[in-house]
Structure 1
């Protein structure tokens, strides 16, 4: 096991102390972080979405801020505002919570489209422009947003432009019986998140991110990614296929998956492993597909069956 894989394993194990029985969800959330992407957690209340964000921030000793999204939340409540300093007779910019490493936008679909749009520049360009001035965000910056997919009263669905800026969409899901018993046992007198200690610093995290960027990806695998994305745009049950940003996200996630799988090159297997969480939320179903009860995840799985992957020999891929 290489040093980078050892670091990842320790980070994953540390988070698993607080998030029980959800190994794949933890892995994919870390893939998003290693690829400098943003994460949308979509699930019913009480399954640990906020805890996952807190565990991630605590495990790497990152600056963590939380926004509770409500209908009256204003864009300046996120990005910051200038306040007049009476002693110095000038305006001073007071940074908003977005100037951090991990920003949790809890129940993001409960705030207005105007406020949701204040995150567009942050998520795409890692900067904030207010009052004609552009201010950079920290080098390590990630938005983790949560939303409840079954409650629509008083909510504002995320527009396609914002959904496309999320690197992945994940669902935590209910724990199985054994995991639920462990959760009950762990929380007799408190939550394990309270005792979670950092196991990685920002400098080592940057090393992991750079290691992902060095993973080799063959042109034939890039062609496979392009074929999947092109097929999504031509599928009869899809009004809108994946964007070029989606193709880039699939490439980056595949490289991170290869690192986790102890490879220094990407095979089609890694592409297939991450395709659903990377692509599904970027697809817009046709009316016929909605009437049939189809889900975007089902159509991504169908694309994976239809598009033939390339055959790579290890020696050629290295």
Structure 2
């Protein structure tokens, strides 16, 4: 099942408005009789300028799909593109450069450097790459996220919600083509989580970003434009203009009438899939172990 496309987009995005796509994407862990198929011949398109949520029962392949689309994990078979660039088969050095220049990341753990203040954490990836930020864009991101009066604070001086806002600003700062968010509200209380989801929604609506978010929470998925449902490593359904109630009802079909409801241990961010092989890339914040 493929997802709908968006309009034409400039830059590196493909001419048909697709920010990322995969064809026949398969990911297996192990070999022989112990092999586990995490993704099974997945075809998917991520439309540029939209907010896409990825949901499914534990072990369905959600985080594995995100890791493969972002070039954080290798694929066993199939092809993956970021815009018009095929990333399957790229050398690690080229993948590192691509992730650094064209993708933003948000994870459940904020991964802020404790000795740096908020402003320094936000620009750290660009500082490492030797690139100067677009000051006008950076100011817009900081103001959108309400961080203007927190820029001199170190992480220990910020609440969990404020730290995740800093992480969000870091993901947005380089104006990436695509932002991948893996359970970004998993370590936040409900109020702070709603704030972060609102900021991601605003990043799409007001700043023209493209966001892909893995989540267990129907309420979080309701902030998206499109929900993709995974089951046994395949995309089994999708939902446009989702509501929390509709997503929860759809999830009941996949969990035998016992949906994973908000507040459960699963929703609070205990990830299910196997982690990417090897260590986290130096250009991306450290990954939660799935």
Same fold (TM over 0.5): no
TM-score, normalised relative to structure 2: 0.32
Larger radius of gyration: 1
Q: Which has the higher contact order (CA 8 A, sep 6+)?
A: 2
**Which structure carries more strand by proportion?**
2
TM-score, normalised relative to structure 1: 0.30
**Which structure carries more helix by proportion?**
1
